[in-house]
Structures are given as structure tokens and as C-alpha cells.
Amino acid sequence: MSIRSRDSGPNFDYKDSNKQFENAGSLNKAEVVVNCLNISKALDEMSSIVNTYSIGKPLRKDRLGHYGKYIFQVELDKFPEILQKLRPLGNIAQQSELVDSTLINKRVATEEQVLASKRIELARLEQESSYYGSDLDNKNTRIAEIRKLENTIDLLKNSDKTLLYVKLQTSFSGNSLTTVKDFVRNFAIFLVGFFILVIVAYYGTKLVMYLLSLMGFKGFSMSNFGGSYQYGNYGNYANRYYSSRYGYRNSKRKVKRIYKDKPTTPREEDESGK
């Protein structure tokens, strides 16, 4: 039975425990990954769960700085109850249950009969054969078959149990880092796409206005959209401003002259009196 290892990021080393869980014999297996905000509290609670539900000595019970890995056997009907105990510890990021397909169709009684026949055959070989050549190879083959059958029977007898593999880790895992990287990458793609869209819209609009001006539509020219700035427009604006304020534009200015009487002198008054 093969189990694909889940990449939990560079901060968590599960290689050895993944291999141990994969090679461990069990008809039923379950794996649970929990992301915890308070990893210290979660590790304390996990120790209590293992002590309560583990059948015999756990295969692995490692409490590390910011994560933990546990492999232990539990009663199959207790698995839902254990899940309820794990949920308050954090977010269950992964949950899987596996059954060894090679053992589904096998029965304990049948395997025990095969085992008995293999043992009889081994006893006969030990009495009739020597310890050299092909006889020795046959005996070694029978011994390996007997051990495999014994292991199979043991697994079938424990079909009401499951091997549980629990990974506890802080929320800031490799998945979180991947999420941040995906966000940055998507945002960069959005910016590039938006920039290209703006350029296409800009030059597309200029092309449409140019075509409209060629077709004779008034009011559409390249200078109306994105054209160069004309300093002559300032002169037009100045002419309109001064003409409206001072009342002249392309016309002669009217000048009104006012003459004041000169003051008279005493001599002029005497002459006028004569």
C-alpha cells in the first residue's frame, strides 16, 4: 500500500515519519494534518489524546519546536471521536483514510489453513533435506512465506483497529507561503494585463478618431486626442480676454479728448474791461 507524501513546506521535516507510516502494516490507516495557531497548547493537548486512545506503545510521538508528528494505533470506531478532539486544536488541513486493498478479500480462516500447510512442508524439508544447495533455498523460501502469512493473519485479526498518523504544525506553513507567492504572482499578472489594456485602449481610440477624421467627420482630429500642446492657443485666449475687458478687437480705439480752460491773468482782465 503506497501513500503519497504531502509536502508540508521547508519548516517541517516529515520524511522519516512518512516512510515509517507507509511501511507500517495495518489494514486501516488514517492521516490527519492540523494547522494550529497556538502550537504549544495544541502539542500539550495532543499528548493527552495519544495517552488516552493509543493501543499499546505509539510507533512515534515526537514533539518538536513548532510542530509534532504522532503515529499510534487506535480503535476503528474511536476515530470519529478523536477527530472531534483534534478540531479545537486548529484547522484540519488534510484528512484521509486508507484501506489495504490487498487484504480486503482475505479471510483469517483461509490464511491460517495456508499457514498450517506451509509449516508442515517446512518440517518435511528439515527432516529430508540437507543444509546445502537447493534444499536450503527451499527452506528459506518457506520460512519467508510463513512469516508473511503470520503478518497477514495478524493484520486481519486487527481489522477493527486503525493506524493513525497525526501532524500538528503552526499555521504559518509552506501552504501559507505558497498562498502569498500566488497572490504576488497574480497581482503582478494583473498589473501587466492592465498596462497592456490601457495601451491598447489608448492607441485604439486614437486610430478610431483618425479614421473618423479621414471620413470627414468634423471635430475629430489627432490634435483633439493626445495631440501636442499648441502655444498659439494662449494668444487666442489673450485676445478674447482683452477684447472682452477693454472693448477692442480688430477695431480702432476711440479717444476722447477733454480740454480744460486756461486760468486768466490780471492783465487779460484789464484789457477785456476796456
Residue-wise pLDDT tens digits, 107-119: 777 888 888 888 8
Of 44-58, 142-156, 162-176, the range with the highest mean pLDDT is: 44-58
- The owner of cell 502655444 is 231
Residue 207 placed within a domain: yes
CB 55 within 8 A of CB 74: yes
Confidence category of residue 210, pLDDT binned at 50, 70, 90? confident
Q: What is the mean pLDDT of the chain?
A: 76
Query: E strands of the chain, at which residues?
Result: 28-36, 60-63, 67-75, 91-99, 161-170
- The verdict on 59 and 173 lying in the same domain is yes
- The verdict on 88 and 143 lying in the same domain is no
Q: Which residues contact 189 (CB under 8 A, 6 or more apart)?
A: none
Residue 132 placed within a domain: yes
Position with higher pLDDT, 260 vs 106: 106
Residue 258 placed within a domain: no
- In this predicted structure, the answer to whether residue 262 has a pLDDT above a threshold of 60 is no
Supply 264's cell numbers. 486768466
* Separation of CA 79 from chain center: 29
Closest CA to 224 of 237, 206, 240: 206
- In this predicted structure, the answer to whether residue 246 has a pLDDT above a threshold of 90 is no
Residue 236 placed within a domain: no
What is the rounded distance in angstroms from the CA atom of residue 34 to the CA atom of residue 36?
6
- The verdict on 69 and 144 lying in the same domain is no
Predicted pLDDT at 5:
38
* Separation of CA 62 from chain center: 27
- The verdict on 188 and 89 lying in the same domain is no
Predicted pLDDT at 147:
86
Predicted pLDDT at 20:
93
Predicted pLDDT at 232:
47
Phi, psi of 250 (to 5 degrees): 55, 35
- DSSP class of residue 188 equals H
Which residues span the domain enclosing 189? 178-230
Confidence category of residue 231, pLDDT binned at 50, 70, 90? very low
- The verdict on 25 and 52 lying in the same domain is yes
- The verdict on 171 and 196 lying in the same domain is no
pLDDT, one tens digit per residue, over 13-58 is 899 999 999 888 888 899 999 999 899 999 999 999 999 999 989 9
- In this predicted structure, the answer to whether residue 228 has a pLDDT above a threshold of 70 is no
- The verdict on 51 and 77 lying in the same domain is yes
- The verdict on 38 and 88 lying in the same domain is yes
Residue 251 placed within a domain: no
- The verdict on 26 and 97 lying in the same domain is yes
Residue 263 placed within a domain: no
Residue 4 placed within a domain: no
- The verdict on 136 and 167 lying in the same domain is no
What is the rounded distance in angstroms from the CA atom of residue 35 to the CA atom of residue 169?
5
- The verdict on 62 and 121 lying in the same domain is no
Other beta carbons less than 10 A from residue 64's beta carbon: 13
Confidence category of residue 169, pLDDT binned at 50, 70, 90? very high
Phi, psi of 60 (to 5 degrees): -150, 135
* Separation of CA 3 from chain center: 23
Q: How many structural domains does the chain have?
A: 3
Single-letter amino acid, residue 67: Y
Confidence category of residue 244, pLDDT binned at 50, 70, 90? low
**Which of helix, strand or coil describes residue 190?**
helix
- The verdict on 39 and 164 lying in the same domain is yes
Predicted pLDDT at 72:
95
Confidence category of residue 139, pLDDT binned at 50, 70, 90? confident
For a pLDDT cut of 70, what percent of the chain falls above it? 69
Phi, psi of 164 (to 5 degrees): -105, 135
Residue 250 placed within a domain: no
Three-state DSSP string of 15-62: HHHHHHHHHCCCCEEEEEEEEECCHHHHHHHHHHHHHHHCCCCCCEEE
**Which of helix, strand or coil describes residue 106?**
coil
